[in-house]
Amino acid sequence: MDYNCVLLPVSNLDEADFFYSKVIGFGIEEDCYIVPSEDSGMKLLAQRVDEIELSNNDRFPLFRFYYKDDLIFYCDSIVHKGADVILFAEYPGGYFMRVRDPFGNVFEVISDNLQHFGDINPQKWGFYKRF
């Protein structure tokens, strides 16, 4: 998955597909809705969340970007600069992390770069999770 997009929290993916494609005319490519404008390049990635989560005051990621280099090193470096990383997760084939800005907004960084050669051990981070 090598694209940038705005995350769209929804509780029902089928309903979201119908609404965004049939009702308001967005295209669908992979898991994204394509905003119908030749110059926008805007993609919305539907991310299924429980209705209970949608009703909470928790902040969902506003956008996601792909990081092609060592995400472990990047995460460690921004934490040392004061960034609020709330989740760093490892799953088969890659990593992702969620970062909260000073205003409470959350964004995600994803990477499939699993080649880390440094001495940083993400399992020691309190925000680390393995799926």
Q: Tell the CATH topology of 64-131.
A: 3.30.720
Q: Where in the chain is the domain with CATH 3.30.1900?
A: 1-58
Confidence of residue 57 (pLDDT cuts 50, 70, 90): low
Residue whose C-alpha is closest to residue 6's, from 64, 55, 79: 64
Parallel, antiparallel, or unpaired for β 32-34 and 43-48? Answer: antiparallel
**CATH number among 2.40.10, 1.10.720, 3.30.160, 3.30.1900, domain 1-58:** 3.30.1900
Residue 83 has pLDDT above 70, yes or no: yes
CA atoms 9, 13, 19, 20: torsion sign: positive
The pLDDT score that the predictor gives to residue 1 is 47
List, in sequence order, every residue forming a beta bridge with 43; answer none if it has no partner.
Answer: 34
Residue 100 has pLDDT above 80, yes or no: yes
